[in-house]
């Protein structure tokens, strides 16, 4: 059985955490994009009133070193608390929907739209209030006075999660050269003084962006924190938006990963040669030198001979840890917004 589908406990256990959450609240009256100028002026006044409300109700918890209320790239007002909770509202860009219905294009599209085969329809962004925070570092209790203002205008299952960062930590040495991720069109490698240090899969603009890096080294360089054991982190930045009551299965992404052991040998000299070359150039780069049929054959052999069986697979860790972690996150968000949550 391949590593990514191994659902049996291993010698080294990994742990999952939710390191970042961005969620949106329904606030259609705070959307700046309006077709009528008089409506836009009304929204401007509403935004100013909301900014004053945030400033007054959160005055004791706002970060004094942050330029409170300033505009961001996508929102008119941006506030930040001392514990790192970002509040933004007043989206300055409209919601854009792509339409490829031929009848609609004939009736409303331009000649350019018809040739292209689609047009865009623009409307006000109903989700005009955005919260971003790290649930590991803080709860939403400090900003609850503001969030509870929205409970009268929406039901609990209308809250949208726009981004979720999931991290899996392994307290063991992992060879990034011997890691494979199937089904990702883009991949990048970052080298340091001691060789390959970080792997990236996908892009910042894609729905799923993944990186694998040496957390021990990062903590030392950024924060001068010494961790007395190896620590590698597999991090998923997911922009797959969903309603808070219906999370997607991120386990499908983690199933793409295969980890291989660089410290063992086998009876096949060709596999040993591939493993040695991979420790220098990376496993994916080494296999790309072979014809496609040969690549497929050696991928199967590698899984049989070099799968890193001493660590739990990312998919197993996700299936074990995510339901409880997300349940706590959901409870934090709903209770802070003023909803009566029975369990979590």
Domain chopping of the chain, boundaries: 3-18+166-328, 27-93+125-153
Spatial contact of 69 and 79, defined as CB atoms under 8 Å apart: yes
Helices (H), 98-143: 102-108, 111-116
Q: Which of 171, 169, 200 has the alpha carbon at shortest distance from 186?
A: 200
| Separation between Cα atoms, residue 128 and residue 154, nearest integer Å | 13
**Could you tell me how far CA 14 lies from the centroid of its own chain?**
19
Which structure tokens are listed for 264? 């063992």
Residues whose CB is less than 8 angstroms from the CB of residue 227 and which lie 6 or more positions away in sequence, other chains included: 215, 216, 219, 220
Phi, psi of 281 (to 5 degrees): -105, -10
Q: Is 303 exposed, middle or buried (0-12, 13-18, 19+ CB in 10 A)?
A: middle
Higher local confidence (pLDDT), 206 or 146: 146
Give residue 7's pLDDT.
Answer: 44
Please check the confidence at residue 151 and state whether its pLDDT lies above 90. Answer: no
Residue 340 binned pLDDT confidence (cut-offs 50, 70, 90):
confident
CA–CA distance, 31 with 227 (Å, rounded to integer): 46
> First CA to last CA across the chain, in angstroms?
34
213-223 mean pLDDT: 91
Give per-residue pLDDT as tens, 70-108. 999 899 999 999 999 999 999 988 888 899 998 988 888
Find the range with the poorest average confidence among 26-30, 163-167, 297-301: 297-301
Contact indicator for 203, 237 with CB cutoff of 8 Å: no
- State the Cα–Cα distance between residues 208 and 227, nearest whole angstrom: 29
Nearest CA-CA partner of 233 in 204, 194, 198: 198
| pLDDT at res. 153 | 67
Nearest one of 44, 134, 133 to 89, comparing CA atoms:
44
Residue 15's beta-bridge partner residues?
Answer: 169
Q: How far apart are CA 55 and CA 61, in angstroms?
A: 10
Sign, Cα dihedral of 307, 310, 314, 315: positive
pLDDT, tens digit, 9 for 90 and up, residues 63-77: 999 999 999 989 999
> Has residue 4 got a pLDDT over 50?
no
Q: How far is CA 100 from CA 32, 54, 104, 111, 117, in A?
A: 27, 41, 8, 14, 6
Local confidence band at 299 (pLDDT 50, 70, 90 cut-offs): confident
Q: Which pair of structure tokens corresponds to residue 221?
A: 């360089």
pLDDT confidence of residue 139: 95
CA angle 233, 235, 240 (to 5 degrees): 170
What's the whole-model pTM score?
0.85
pLDDT of amino acid 133: 98
């Amino acid at each position: 059985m391949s590593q990514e589908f191994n659902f049996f406990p291993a010698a080294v256990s990994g742990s999952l955490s939710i390191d970042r959450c961005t969620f949106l609240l329904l606030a259609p009256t705070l959307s700046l994009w309006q077709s009528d100028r008089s409506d836009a002026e009304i929204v401007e006044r509403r935004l100013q009133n909301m900014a004053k409300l945030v400033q007054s109700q959160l005055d004791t918890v706002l970060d004094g070193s942050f330029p409170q209320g300033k505009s961001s790239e996508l929102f008119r007002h941006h506030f930040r608390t001392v514990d790192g909770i970002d509040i933004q509202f007043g989206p300055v860009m409209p919601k854009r929907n792509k339409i490829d219905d031929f009848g609609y294009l004939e009736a409303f599209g331009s000649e350019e739209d018809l040739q292209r085969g689609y047009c865009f329809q623009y409307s006000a962004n109903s989700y005009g209030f955005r919260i971003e925070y790290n649930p590991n570092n803080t709860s939403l209790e400090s900003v609850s006075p503001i969030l509870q203002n929205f409970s009268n205008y929406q039901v609990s299952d209308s809250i949208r999660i726009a981004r979720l960062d999931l991290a899996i930590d392994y307290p063991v040495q992992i060879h990034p050269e011997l890691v494979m991720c199937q089904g990702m069109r883009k991949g990048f490698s970052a080298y340091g003084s001691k060789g390959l240090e970080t792997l990236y899969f996908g892009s910042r603009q894609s729905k799923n962006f993944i990186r694998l890096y040496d957390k021990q080294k990062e903590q030392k360089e950024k924060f001068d924190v010494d961790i007395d054991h190896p620590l590698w982190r597999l991090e998923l930045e997911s922009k797959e938006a969903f309603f808070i009551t219906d999370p997607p299965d991120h386990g499908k992404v983690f199933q793409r990963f295969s980890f291989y052991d660089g410290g063992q040998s086998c009876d096949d000299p060709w596999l040993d040669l591939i493993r040695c070359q991979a420790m220098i150039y990376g496993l994916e780069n080494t296999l790309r030198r072979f014809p496609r049929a040969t690549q497929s054959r050696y991928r199967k052999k590698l899984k049989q001979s070099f799968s890193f069986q001493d660590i739990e697979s990312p998919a197993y860790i996700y299936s074990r840890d995510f339901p409880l972690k997300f349940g706590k996150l959901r409870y934090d968000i709903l209770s802070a917004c003023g909803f009566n949550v029975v369990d979590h």
